Structure formats: structure tokens, C-alpha cells
Amino acid sequence: MALRTLDTLPARLGGSLAGRRVVVRCDLNVPLKDGQITDDGRVRASLPTLNALIHQGARVVVCSHLGRPVAGDVTTLSLAPVAQRLSELLGKPVAFARDTVAASAQEAVAALGDGDVAVLENLRFQPGETASDGADRAAFAAQLADLGDALVSDGFGVVHRKQASVYELAQLLPSAAGLLIATEVDVLDRLTENPERPYTVVLGGSKVSDKLGVIEHLLPRVDKLLVGGGMMFTFLAAQGHKVGASLLEQDQLDRVRGYLQTAAERGIELVLPVDAVVAASFAADAEHVVAAADALEDTPFGASGLGLDIGPATAQQFAAAIRSSTTVFWNGPMGVFEMPAFAAGTQAVAQALTEVAGLSVVGGGDSAAAVRQLGFTDDRFGHISTGGGASLEFLEGKKLPGLEVLGWEQ
């Protein structure tokens, strides 16, 4: 079956959304510091769907999680700052309910007029949202369902989870995917089914074990696989190189050797770094040098040195491979981009993605945070995914319950 999209919803509600209470499950899980939002990318990503509903006269009830609240803590991770930012971006008042399904939520929803918006308090303040028992999730979903006439699911970052607002609620109310989820599915489907070639995947981040599924699923489908970040040292070690104190997953060496062999047999270019930035310690001001990939311990730091970024020759090589591709998917920074001394590799990869003539996709999570921190605007890329984990599981070919319940079949 095809994904049920937003344009199918009015017909199931008598032909119009005007006056209808539409619960919108967004992903407004933004980073906060001292109660202030430091990156509002996910809030902005929710705007097309919310504006579409507002323009149709729906009474919009926004719900989302924020962080991982400790049991009993209903203050630290409040969505109040998010509701305020959403009001600023929408250019209209947004009501905020101080609870999720109790009196404040019921009053806020009852007070909505056509085209109005209310935000409910953090879904994860309610244990039923993430309960392992399906009956507990269903009970909480029933409380949410009492607040709406329909559900628009638009939180792509949680579609790989069976959570009450994502899965059970979509079974209780007429439901459809929002514009954000529809876009994410379309883009990621293009990465797995007949992508335009040459097709390059760039993987970084700290651990190979985090990317096992996506490597196995995509390796036969790509023309080039570029490996950087902390995970590159496990690949280099699999080739027999010494990596000093760099991040190394000994238990993955045999599996990585298998990837190298598969790539060679299939004629796939599996491109590993030719150099790295090696530091004396894990610190922003640590002394550091550039070393060849086969000589990482031949530095003043010896076996205690640790690699914190791809080197300049590798950055140039990766950038050239990216620019020569028609389709590029990137997930995971090339180094410890939060420290300026070790951000050059990630900067080079991000810049190259902005120069791709075809489809360039930044795979959410740390990669999305990196490009924004390094000064790139979202519109310089073909697509920035809002769901790192969900994106990877989609590309691994896994079934995502939050999409299946909306009619999607991979």
C-alpha cells in the first residue's frame, strides 16, 4: 500500500478539515541550553504541515516529545520554549497546555477556533507514551484520541519506534502522514531504489557498530563508500595498520574485513582515509599533527596519540568523490567537529555536498547539527533528514512501525 498523505484526510472527515481537531505528532525534540533553543531546525521543519492545516481551518493540536525525562520530572524538559518559538515562526499566538491529556490540555483544545494552534506538554512526561506494554501505550493513546478527530503523523525522527502517539494513536483516529514524513520517505526511497548514478555514501561518526545495518544494505547498491570519523580506525586496523589510542572496535574487525572483501569482489570503491589529524589528547587545545594513515603511531605522541579528524589529503579526496557524484547520502561527522581544530574534515565534506549537481542528503542527527554549527544553511543541501536513527533504519531496509501504520510498505 502507498503512504496515506495529508491530501487524503479531508475526504475521510466529510470533505473538509475546517473546524476539525487535528492532532499533529511532530518531532520538536530540539537541543536546549539554559532553557533556550540552540537549534530550531526541527521546529522549522514542522511548519509546512502546520501551515497547511491552519490554512484549511483545522484546529491544530501539536504534540511531541522532548529529550528523555527522568521519571517524576515534569519541569526540566518542558515544551514551553518550543511553543513560544513556534508562535514566533507561525506569526500567530500558540496556546500551551501545562499537561498532556489532563485539564489544561482539555481546556486548551476546547478553546481553539478554526486555524488556531495549541501545543501539549511533553509526551514523555506520561509513562504510557514509551511503555513496553502495548496495552499501556493503547490506554494513553486513547486519552490523546479524545483530544482530536484525526491524526497527522509528522515526526519522522520517531517512526522507527512503537510509541503511543506514533503507532497506537494512528490506529484509533483517521490518520495520514504529514508533509515532512512524505518528503523524508520520498527522498530515502530514492536512495534505495534506482538512485541516479554515480551514487556515493559517506559514513562517519564514532562507531562501526552503529552503521552495520546500513553498510550491509547499501554496499551492494552504491558506487563509492567513503568512511571517515571515529569508525575509520576500525577499518584501518582491519587493513593491518596501527591506530594508537584512536577509537577502535576490536570485535568488529572480522566483519569490517568482510566489507572490504565484498567491496573488492563487487568492484565498489570503498575509500578509506589516507591521512588523519592525530592529537596528544581529547581536548580542544590539544597538540596535534597530520599523519599518514599507515603511520599513525609515527608521531611525537607515539601509541598514545589519537585520531580526531580525517586529514587534509583525505578531505580533498572525499570532496572530489562527492562533487563527481549525482546522488550522495552522508551520515556522521568526519571528526570531532565541536572542536574547531578537528572540524576541517566535516567542513570539507559539507561544502562538497553543497556542490553536488544532483541529490545531496544529510542524514540527520550529528550530521545535521554539524552543518548548522559550521555555518551552512539548510537550503544549500538537497535534503536534511530530521531523523538520524529513523533514516538509518529505513536505509537498512527495516520495517518502521510508524510508517507501516500509515500504509507504507518497503
Confirm whether 255 is a catalytic residue: no
Q: What is the pLDDT of residue 392?
A: 87
Residue 129 counted as an annotated binding residue? no
Q: What is the pLDDT of residue 347?
A: 97
Confirm whether 224 is a catalytic residue: no
Confirm whether 162 is a catalytic residue: no
Q: Which of 44, 162, 190, 207 is labelled catalytic?
A: 207
Residue 68 counted as an annotated binding residue? yes
Residue 338 counted as an annotated binding residue? yes
Residue 270 counted as an annotated binding residue? no
CB 156 within 8 A of CB 186: no
Residue 9 counted as an annotated binding residue? no
Q: Which phi-psi region, left, alpha or beta, contains residue 292 (left: φ > 0; alpha: ψ -120 to 50)?
A: beta
- Cell representation of residue 339: 572542536
Confirm whether 113 is a catalytic residue: no
Q: Which of 20, 25, 42, 372 is labelled catalytic?
A: 42
What element of type H or E holds 292? strand 288-292
For the chain, 410 residues long, the average pLDDT of each consecutive 10-residue run is 91 95 96 88 95 98 94 83 98 97 98 98 96 97 98 96 97 98 94 93 90 88 96 96 96 95 94 98 97 97 97 98 97 95 98 97 85 92 88 89 91
Q: Which of 19, 115, 213, 389 is labelled catalytic?
A: 389
Residue 29 counted as an annotated binding residue? yes
Q: What is the pLDDT of residue 410?
A: 67
In this prediction the pTM is 0.89
Q: Calculate Rg over the CA atoms of the chain.
A: 23
DSSP one-letter string for 121-176: --GGGSGGGS-SSHHHHHHHHHHHHTT-SEEEE--GGGTTS--IIIIIHHHHS-EE
Q: Which of 157, 305, 365, 387 is labelled catalytic?
A: 365
- Cell representation of residue 160: 522507527
